[in-house]
Amino acid sequence: MRYIPNSQVDRQRMLAQIGVDSIEQLFSGVPEKLRLRRLLDLPRALTEPELLEYFRQRASKNEIGAARFVGAGIYRHYIPIIIDALISRSEFYTAYTPYQAEIAQGTLQAIFEFQTYIAQLTGMEVANASLYDGSTGLAEAVLMAQRVTRRNKFLMAKTVHPEYRAVVSTYARNLGIQIELIDYTTDGRLDLEGLERRLDSRVAAVITQSPNFFGTIEKTHDIAEIAHKHDALSVTNICEAVSLGILKPPGNSGQDDDGGSDTPERRTADIVVGEAQSFGVPPGFGGPHVGFLATRERYVRQMPGRLVGMGKDFAGRRGFVLTLSTREQHIRREKATSNICTNQSLCALMATIYLATVGPKGLREICEQNILKTDYAVTRIQQHTKHRVLFPAPRFNEFVIQSPVPPAEGGRNAPGISLSRFYPELGNARLLCVTEVNSRDQIDAMVKEFSA
Amino acid sequence: MSKDGRAATHFSLNEPLLFEEGSPGRRAFDLPKCDVPPRNLDDVIDAKLLRDQIPAMPELSEVDVIRHFTRISTWNYHIDLGLYPLGSCTMKYNPKINERMARLEGFALAHPYLPAHMIQGALEVQKTLENCLAEISGMDAVTLQPAAGAHGELSGILMIRAYHESRGNPRKRILIPDSAHGTNPASAAIAGYVVESVPSNKRGTIDLEPLRKLVNEDVAAIMITNPNTLGVFENEIAQIAELLHSHGALVYMDGANLNAMMGITRPGDFGIDVLHINLHKTFTTPHGGGGPGAGPVAVKKILEPFLPHPLIEEKSDGTYSFNYDRPQSIGKIKAYNGQFGMHVRALCYILANGPEGLKEVSEVAVLNANYLRAKLKDDYALAYDSPSLHEVVFSDRVQARQDVHVWDIAKRLMDYGFHPPTVSFPLIVPGAIMIEPTETESKQELDSFVDAMLSIAKEAEQNPELVKSAPHTTRIGRIDEAAAARKPVLRWRKD
């Protein structure tokens, strides 16, 4: 086998040094009756050319055109070439978790830079080293809010990504957590009056998403203020991280250099959690992506996941190191803040390189094109098709359309995704996403499909 | 330092943080001109919703970005540079073809919400990997959804809970050996169980007799690692499983050490009901500096109804689809269906090896570990005498007499050009030095490591201060972790 260096000659020499005759003898600790005395029933070994053919054939069976206009939590943005060039360096992708700080400063510094970018973009004081993805990140945020408030009831917007809500339920089920859904209004945003009515002193946190699953922008600061009136936390979920380049952040760390507005603390989120796939990570059929979690400094010891801190060595040189690990499972075991052991280091690195590459101006321009192209698509659909565009509230790069008639035969090929699995009450509705990668021609062709 | 050791001095460039670099007006990115009819942004969206540009975000050129990350990358140790003897972590060579295959556009740009007929290639890859993992582990069904090993643990324990609930009583306790990974008890706690520790015996394994006293109808499951974290096969595993089953309890296996047993023995054949598999260990998906990993979970038939949804189904016409209609499922454990890019890499590795190759992997992994054991056992104290499989655990007992401890030995290894082994784990061995070389190391590489270890043992005796003040040749020295944790600085700020 080409990945195993030791030849039969090497192996014989090593066996002699160990003092046994055969490798078989080294397995003497495995009881004979538990031994598998046949070969595994697996496909025969393939050579490299055969592997290339095998995977190319299968890859070619997936439809990958950007003209499908599918978003719903996984976004198509342009991915600069230098990201792959850099993360393909063995120094990054074949390195282990940076427990040995002296020989892992590259990974540690990159994560520290990721934490800084996320804190700046969300307007929060601190961010962690990343989490598996947005959905598990939101579940971790719920458990964190339970620890901070010692309350068990959560109010969650129905416009939070439906699969994220499902993951939260799976995590929460056995921890005494109750989750109540808050409906949306006809403008496609959280029902603020409904929220006020449902809030009481048992509520740990209000969970919203902005832009929400329908693509509309929530009034995150008003929501935070309402939650805080009842001493509940405000948790904001961000599925479309690129939007942070132009929309007011849910937090405001009070730092002018973060570009946050001067929003008072009572109107800012306590936890901002989300998915940074939009920052240079390909859709990849749903993963790997990269979750993030940002919060106020005073909650840092309740945070899940790894944290990289800045420190000094004995000679006073600046260095970076995993810190506050007394929260973590390898020390605290069943009393840890989370069972998490890995983060998504390499994907966090991709996001960091993306942000360094596009820079503040590039990110702003990307955002502007998302808004303008989406607006163009919406206007064209309203003018040239019989479809209704639902939800008039301001949007970023997604929108919902509703067909006046039930889906036609073959309608399963239409652009966007059907919302019937997640929101049956919307009838024959579809969610569409337009980003900077979509050309005017693609948008016009899509409009034409809906006008037929 | 020995003259022929790995390490030598070389250049190392300083590099500030991104936020300390750049200059206004630099660019590394150009966006094509907007091709829809121009409109004023203010006419499209209320300006009150918009933020200012972020002044502290650096403006950099493409060369700035490349140099920055290339320079900091050189500060990392990594598997392409040399041996990573991290016990339990299975740091093995990551084949290059895996990376290339995962980057094929048809995989990288696929979206899981497209209709099934548009994603047949991705579904086939996932289903094929599920089938391979089921055969390797001797189990009946597999979910690829969990994102990492600990995430797989949580999924597995939630399935155990759902199984017991379906029979009327979720039960209260999970038994976990004291040698287990810290994720085991943490995962059991999130699933709402009370954790009870099971002591290891003098051979480092679990005794059947004391276990009998702990098992009753309150116990939902035992979480066991086999081979355990000492690299020792639990030789009474079949009887342990029988004992748990006789009380209606289930057996969870932490599959972190699957690299010791492929084609040799199968968890499904020794009574395991559910196990997670770390694709980033046994199946060569890269560690990426701490993730992404992937933690598929394999189960016996009795747990199949509780698997996270969706399940991939193969129809009689050879097409595949997602089935979301799973009424007894624990639900979703992650959005979409797992870390697909890792699934492509793992399948590529399995197909590259075939059945003979995978068996050879485990055989040579065990050979390499036993070779290191034989070469080091006269100078480092073996924690246990029991036969080692893929890893071997020493303690710093001998060196501690000179006040040289496991962390000192670990740091001194860096001066010899090696990444240290896993240290201070498992917790049952004071001063543990846990070494797992894997099958992808040559005899020469192992010999160099042995030379370094023996040289350090000698130094510990003759010049303990040299070891205690290590590392001496790395870019930076030991960081004051206590100070860093007391007043944590977790982000850059403008002065």
Digit-coded pLDDT (tens) for A141-189: 999 999 999 999 999 999 999 999 999 999 999 999 999 999 999 999 9
- Structure token digits, residue B76: 């990392």
Chain B residues lying within 8 Å of A342, measured CB to CB: 147-150, 280, 290-293
CB-based contact B488 A300, cutoff 8 Å: yes
Determine, yes or no, domain membership for A46. no
- Which whole-number Å values give the CA distances from B403 to A385, B1, B409, B431, in the listed order? 80, 20, 11, 12
Domain count for chain A: 2
Residue in chain B nearest A36 by alpha carbon? B265
- Give helix then strand counts, H and E, for chain A: 13, 13
Q: Which amino acid is at A187?
A: D
Residues A374, A261 share a domain: no
Q: Which residue among A163, A174, A325 sits closest to B191, beta carbon to beta carbon?
A: A174
CB-based contact B442 A6, cutoff 8 Å: yes
Domain boundary among A327, A351, A375: A351
Chain A residues lying within 8 Å of B105, measured CB to CB: 59, 64
Domain boundary among A330, A351, A372: A351
Best to test chain A binding among B78, B171, B307, B478 (most A CBs inside 10 Å): B78
A441 in Cβ contact with A376 (< 8 Å): no
Helices A8-18 and B340-376, packing angle to 10 deg:
50
In CATH, what number is assigned to the domain containing residue A364? 3.90.1150.10
- Structure token digits, residue B363: 């055989």
Buried/exposed B124-151: b ≥16 CB within 10 Å, e otherwise? bbbbbbbbbbbbbbbbebbbbbbbbbbb
10 Å CB burial of residue A20 (0-12, 13-18, 19+) is middle
Chain B residues lying within 8 Å of A44, measured CB to CB: 354-355
- Cα dihedral angle (A443, A445, A447, A450), rounded to 10 degrees? -140
Residue B488, by phi and psi: left (phi above 0), alpha (psi -120 to 50) or beta? beta
d(CA A329, CA A32): 36
- Looking at residue A252, its pLDDT comes to 81
| pLDDT bracket for residue A358 (50, 70, 90) | very high
Give every CB contact of residue B404 below 8 A, 6+ residues apart in sequence. B396, B460, B464, B467, B468
d(CA B33, CA B57): 23
Residues A245, A126 share a domain: yes
- Looking at residue B236, its pLDDT comes to 94
Residue B425, by phi and psi: left (phi above 0), alpha (psi -120 to 50) or beta? beta
Q: Which residue among B121, B339, B374 sits closest to A59, beta carbon to beta carbon?
A: B121
Higher pLDDT residue, A197 or A341?
A197
Instruction: Encode pLDDT of A181-192 as tens digits.
Output: 999 999 999 999
Determine, yes or no, domain membership for A327. yes
Order of strands across the sheet with A429-433?
A388-389, A398-402, A429-433, A417-418
A345 inside 8 A of chain B by CB: yes
- Looking at residue A264, its pLDDT comes to 87
Backbone angles phi, psi at A431, to 5 degrees: -105, 125
Alpha helix (H) residue ranges in B78-223: 96-102, 105-108, 120-137, 149-166, 183-190, 208-214
- Which whole-number Å values give the CA distances from A227 to A267, B112, B225, B244, in the listed order? 9, 35, 45, 47
- Looking at residue B6, its pLDDT comes to 77
Chain A residues lying within 8 Å of B179, measured CB to CB: none
d(CA B220, CA A165): 27
Determine, yes or no, domain membership for A2. no
Residue B308 DSSP one-character state: P
Chain A residues lying within 8 Å of B425, measured CB to CB: 330
Instruction: Encode pLDDT of A254-273 as tens digits.
Output: 455 555 557 888 999 999 99
Residues A373, A234 share a domain: no
> Which position has the token pair 């979910």?
B143
d(CA B288, CA A132): 13
d(CA A364, CA B50): 10
Give every CB contact of residue B439 below 8 A, 6+ residues apart in sequence. A3, A4, A6, B92, B259, B360, B361, B362, B363, B364, B365, B367, B368
Select from B107, B102, B134 the least CA-distant residue to B121. Answer: B107
Select from B170, B183, B178, B277 the least CA-distant residue to B221. Answer: B170
> In chain A, what's the furthest Cα-to-Cα distance?
83
Residues A336, A381 share a domain: no
- Cα dihedral angle (A105, A108, A114, A117), rounded to 10 degrees? -70
> Which position has the token pair 């698509």?
A377
Backbone angles phi, psi at A184, to 5 degrees: -105, 160
> Which position has the token pair 């020794």?
B270
The SS3 call for residue B113 is: coil
Instruction: Encode pLDDT of A392-411 as tens digits.
Output: 999 999 999 998 887 665 55
B359 in Cβ contact with A40 (< 8 Å): yes
- Looking at residue B4, its pLDDT comes to 67
CB-based contact B265 A30, cutoff 8 Å: yes
- Looking at residue B285, its pLDDT comes to 97
d(CA B144, CA B14): 42
d(CA A355, CA A207): 27
CB-based contact A361 B27, cutoff 8 Å: yes
Chain B residues lying within 8 Å of A360, measured CB to CB: 53-55, 57, 59
d(CA A269, CA A94): 37
The SS3 call for residue B441 is: coil
d(CA A383, CA A100): 61
- Which whole-number Å values give the CA distances from B26 to A117, A245, B23, B54, B494, in the listed order? 18, 18, 6, 15, 19
Determine, yes or no, domain membership for A12. no
d(CA B223, CA B318): 37
Residues A170, A277 share a domain: yes
The SS3 call for residue B224 is: strand
- In DSSP terms, A308 is beta-bridged to A322
Determine, yes or no, domain membership for A103. yes
Chain A residues lying within 8 Å of B366, measured CB to CB: 23, 26-27
- Mean pLDDT of all residues belonging to chain A: 94
The SS3 call for residue A138 is: helix
- Looking at residue A258, its pLDDT comes to 55
Instruction: Encode pLDDT of A288-319 as tens digits.
Output: 999 999 999 999 999 999 999 999 999 999 99
Residues A397, A319 share a domain: no
Beta strand B297-299 pairing with B141-143: antiparallel
Chain A residues lying within 8 Å of B348, measured CB to CB: 51, 55
Domains of chain B in start order, with CATH, are 1-75 (no CATH), 97-351 (3.40.640.10), 360-481 (3.90.1150.10)
- Looking at residue A334, its pLDDT comes to 77
ipTM confidence: 0.97
A45 inside 8 A of chain B by CB: yes
Q: Which amino acid is at B448?
A: S
In CATH, what number is assigned to the domain containing residue A130? 3.40.640.10
**First and final C-alpha spacing in chain B:** 42
Instruction: Encode pLDDT of A23-71 as tens digits.
Output: 999 999 999 999 999 999 999 999 999 999 999 999 999 999 878 999 9
Which residues constitute the domain of residue A304?
Answer: 83-351
Percent of chain A with pLDDT over 70: 97
How many CB atoms are closer than 10 A to CB B326? 16
d(CA B198, CA A77): 51
Residues A207, A133 share a domain: yes
> What does pTM read for this prediction?
0.97
- Structure token digits, residue B472: 């001496």
- Looking at residue B246, its pLDDT comes to 98
Determine, yes or no, domain membership for A173. yes
Determine, yes or no, domain membership for A234. yes
- The mean pLDDT of A336-347, rounded to a whole number, is 85
Determine, yes or no, domain membership for A341. yes
Residues A381, A434 share a domain: yes
Domain boundary among A298, A319, A351: A351
A420 inside 8 A of chain B by CB: no
B274 in Cβ contact with B252 (< 8 Å): yes
d(CA B412, CA B452): 9
Residues A162, A246 share a domain: yes
Q: Which amino acid is at B397?
A: R
Q: State how far residue A353 is from chain B, nearest Cα, in angstroms.
A: 7
Series of mean pLDDT values for 10-residue runs along chain B (495 residues):
70 90 96 96 94 89 98 97 94 98 98 96 98 98 97 97 97 94 91 93 90 96 94 95 98 96 98 97 96 97 98 96 96 97 98 98 98 98 94 97 97 96 90 97 98 98 97 94 93 88
Chain A residues lying within 8 Å of B111, measured CB to CB: 68, 70, 74, 283, 285-286
User: Residues of A numbered 297-336 whose beta carbons fall under 8 angstroms of chain B's beta carbons: which are they?
Assistant: 300, 306-315, 317, 319-321, 323-326, 328-336
> Which position has the token pair 């306790």?
B173
> Which position has the token pair 């121009």?
B38
- Looking at residue A413, its pLDDT comes to 81
Residues A258, A124 share a domain: yes
Select from B424, B348, B123, B24 the least CA-distant residue to A43. Answer: B348
CB-based contact A98 B289, cutoff 8 Å: yes
d(CA A241, CA A254): 21
Residues A172, A318 share a domain: yes
Q: Chain A to chain B, count of Cβ pairs less than 8 Å apart?
A: 664
- Looking at residue B3, its pLDDT comes to 62
Residues A124, A197 share a domain: yes
Best to test chain A binding among B196, B450, B490 (most A CBs inside 10 Å): B490
CB-based contact B106 A255, cutoff 8 Å: no
Select from B379, B381, B368, B286 the least CA-distant residue to B95. Answer: B286
